[in-house]
Chain A
Amino acid sequence: MSFVLDYYNYWVVVFLMMTGFYIVISANNLVKKIVGLNIFQTSVFMLYITVGKVSGGTAPIVTEGVSLYSNPLPHVLILTAIVVGVATTALGLSLVVRIKRAYGTVEENEFENKDDAI
């Protein structure tokens, strides 16, 4: 039981990663692919934050009477990663808008062979 509790976090993170991965490789619509990419990203963030947690610790803000803090380094790295993730999402979505304007559709099976038509 304690074995399951120890690793439950990691397994759920792997499940979420695989869900995001599946959406990216199998979805037909480009917007849904970007949603899948975001799900993948957020699950990776959760992996890092899980590694940084210390049982019995509190948030890494210096307070009176607290001696055990959670690790602040993963928090910093993930803060950067979240912002970079939203920057990537914004660029990806604007590319989707341009694809829609150029090909008339964002479904993958419809514009796959249309490059010759343009």
Chain B
Amino acid sequence: MLILDIVSALLLIAGGFFGLSGAIGLFKFPDFYTRVHSASVTDSIAVILIMGGLLLQTSFDINTAKLLFIMLFLMLTSPTASHALAKSARHGGLASMAEAKMDEQENNNNG
């Protein structure tokens, strides 16, 4: 059906756009935590949009269930991975850019 094809194409293009922007952000952002956010965009919203687009392409059979399961598992695990990354950095003592700047200003004021 044409309307399903158009909607699915739009979803796939949107998913590709978010994946691409996540990848570009991974290079362009200055701070570790912003880069983690950008990578997580690729993992979460791009996956949901692409999966949604693919779901509209199959007929309603076992493949729909498989794609739904894949989407569910990815939605469970990808944000967890980004969270684990950011939390480990925090735990290891990595300061964000704003905090580093505040520390520098404090040192300048004190010294």
Asked if the two chains touch in their complex, CB atoms less than 8 Å apart, one says: no
